[in-house]
Amino acid sequence: MKSEWNKLDNAAKIFPAAQSKKDTQVFRFSCELYKTVNKDLLQKATEDTLEEFDIFKSILRRGLFWYYLEESDIKPIVREEYKIPCSLIYQRNNHKLLFEVTYYRNRINLEVFHVLTDGTGAMNFLKTLVSNYLTLAENTVDSGVDYDASSTQKSDDSFSKYYSGKISSKQENNPVAYKIVGQKYPDDKLKVINGMVDVKKVLEESHKYNATLTAFLSAVLVKSIIDEMPVRSKGKKPITILIPVNLRNFFPSVSARNFFCLTYIQYDIKKHGEDFETMVDVINTQLKSKLKAERHLESLEGFPYVVMRPTGVYGPYERDYYLMMKSIKYGFDFIVGFKPQLITFIYVKDLVQAIFKAIDRGVVRRGYFLSEGKAYTSSQFRRYVATALGKRRVVPVKIPVWLLWVVSVIAEKGAIVLGKTSTLNRDKFRIMKQRNWICDISDAQNELGFSPQYSLERGVNECVKWYRENKWL
């Protein structure tokens, strides 16, 4: 019977050529149990799991011009941990499965050559494996695994299904990144450091900085690199980190193969300083870059995106308008420029309403401007805030645009020197100098049924109440 074969997916093509003893392109996931692992039961669980993941039955072969995956009847052999973590799995003249299952005491290890799958695919395999093992060891019935996909869906090459083949002709010129140097262990061995953290506490810590978990952990990595960086090297080159993005979050795929892309963030010490809060803010902003994201999404043919373009968003936890409210509390309202300014706002709850309406209606490949639908002057905003605060007298202070620029530059550079974060900087200046923020929300109204529920007066009253209750004001 002729064996079936599969082409490598787009992400997998690089790994055979890139692998070496120094960089094996092998990654590991582990699961620690409360009891010592039973080898025989783990062997049976591995064989059962393999029957659920046909693509994992593959070996890697080299053709005349390319590599390909070939179906194999090789049986996986479970062993007690016997080698250095993430050692080579694929060797050209030694055809074997592209994953290994080992154990040590109460720990189950899964190591995978990246040609086969990515982190999501491997994690789903490990979850199923552990579930099958516990079913055998503990006679459990409920697997607790929510990975519901057919064998065909698991073996799906989602790149070929969703990738348009079109790339942008515009290439970004990025500066040369800082390279970590140091002495390697003999024979290219890895040093593994085990640690445990409370996920809930890490999430809580990231929320303190109003950042995503990915942004927070990336900032921690950047901070650790800076702390170990020689003083003479600081500020000469930016730190660049490549971050994998799970494309299953954007496409209807449950593939157990590779389906990810890479995005990068850069942190320039010379520009931003060494304050950790600044690191989190800069990295979080880069990861959330709306403009870059929009352009990228639009370049992907058939990608089911929806872009929301809100104007001035205010509400609980928001900090920019909070600073304006705080200033008004102390009797001053700082206004940029001498020309009249019209501004539109949207309360955070109305923004959420629009997002859910887009989801409910299944809208794709569209963008919408969002606001309350009414424009206000700065004096109207000041009056609503002052009334909500019970402030009778507020002095408007008009600042020339050029002076704001000077103050912004000084504040930004001073923050860098002191290793702190400055709310006022050149990026903020570019926003504040704009005279009018007005948009047309008719598309959102007609297509989504978007209907703002919060006038500026109502939203400000609710927002001020929250700031007071949480001791911000």
List helix spans (H) across 390-425: 401-418
Q: Is the dihedral of CA 382, 386, 389, 395 positive or negative?
A: positive
CA distance 233 to 246: 33
In this structure, what token pair is assigned to residue 367?
A: 């963008």
Is the Cβ–Cβ distance between 90 and 98 less than 8 Å? yes
Quick one: 144 exposed, middle or buried, by C-beta within 10 A (0-12, 13-18, 19+)?
exposed
Q: Has residue 428 got a pLDDT over 70?
A: no
Q: Has residue 117 got a pLDDT over 60?
A: yes
Q: In a 3-state reduction of DSSP, which class is residue 61? A: strand
Spatial CB neighbours of 385, under 8 Å, sequence gap ≥ 6: 324, 325, 328, 391, 460, 464
For the residues 75-103, what does the mean pLDDT come to? 91
In this structure, what token pair is assigned to residue 397?
A: 């202070």
Q: What pLDDT sits at residue 1? A: 39
Q: Are strands 67-71 and 436-437 parallel, antiparallel or unpaired?
A: unpaired
Q: Has residue 165 got a pLDDT over 60?
A: no
Q: Has residue 296 got a pLDDT over 70?
A: no
Q: In a 3-state reduction of DSSP, which class is residue 312? A: strand
Residue among 291, 349, 350, 352 nearest 316 (CA): 349
For the residues 179-198, what does the mean pLDDT come to? 79
User: Considering just the CA atoms, what is the radius of gyration of the chain in Å?
Assistant: 27
Residue 301 — very low, low, confident or very high, per pLDDT cuts 50/70/90?
low
Residue type at 41 in one-letter notation = L
Place of tokens 């055979």: 16
Residue among 371, 381, 379 nearest 351 (CA): 371
- pLDDT tens profile 385-414: 999 999 989 998 888 877 877 877 787 777
CA distance 440 to 113: 51
pTM (predicted TM-score) = 0.61
Say which residue, 306 or 339, is predicted with more confidence: 306
- pLDDT tens profile 334-384: 877 777 778 899 999 999 999 989 888 888 888 888 999 998 988 899 999
CA distance 314 to 466: 12
CA distance 401 to 413: 19
Q: Has residue 173 got a pLDDT over 70?
A: no
- pLDDT tens profile 231-283: 888 888 899 988 888 888 777 788 999 998 888 888 999 888 899 999 998 88
Size (the chain), residues: 473
Is the Cβ–Cβ distance between 42 and 105 less than 8 Å? no
The chain-wide mean pLDDT, for the chain, equals 84
Q: In a 3-state reduction of DSSP, which class is residue 100? A: strand
CA distance 76 to 98: 10
Dihedral pair phi/psi, residue 20, rounded to 5°: -160, 175
In this structure, what token pair is assigned to residue 174?
A: 């990025």
Q: What pLDDT sits at residue 2? A: 47
The domains of the chain, with CATH numbers, are 5-157 (3.30.559.10), 198-288 (no CATH), 306-473 (3.40.50.720)
Is the Cβ–Cβ distance between 389 and 466 less than 8 Å? no
